[in-house]
Amino acid sequence: MTGEKVLLMMGCPEVPIQTSIVLYLSHKLANSGFDVTVAGTGAANKLLRVSDSDSYYVKKLVNLDKTLEGVIEKKTDFDICFAFMHNDAGMTYAATMSAISGAKLYSVVFGRNADSLAETIEFDCEKIVSKVAHNPGQLKNMLDKVLEEVVR
């Protein structure tokens, strides 16, 4: 068991696959021994609470802004961060995390404009880019390959 701390950051939940992929990734990482925290905007957290009402897949669900404050104030930090983004606001959250944390950062860029959004990333991260919006299969497969490296 690794015990490494992982943050999954959810921005606006407008694109449907974000919730299912976060649930999936949280569960896979937790089962591999990681200490997983999911942080989201109010709407993203509400969708996740409804989707996982018994907290089976997500054990720690917190407010994204308060989590970033905690990292800024050096009260907490993470070893790994997966930042989910499909718009500029999501990228801003990821850029902030890049600037304030020593976490290995994975930018998970999805949605119809994923390629163009990914091209504008100027901070250090590993990009996982998929133009999917509804069917999570392709993004799941991409994340499974990343998980093979992360879990080692």
Tokens of 22: 């976060």
CB atoms within 10 A of CB 150: 20
Contact 93, 9 (CB under 8 A): yes
Task: Please report, for the domain that includes residue 112, its CATH number.
Answer: 3.40.50.10160
pTM listed for this prediction? 0.96
- How far out from the chain centre does Cα 36 lie? 10
What is the predicted pLDDT for the residue at 152? 79
What is the model's pLDDT at position 37? 98
Q: How many CA atoms lie within 13 A of 143 on its CB side?
A: 27
Domain holding 26, by residue range, is 5-151
Considering its fold, how many domains does the chain have in total? 1
Those residues of the chain that have pLDDT short of 70 are 1
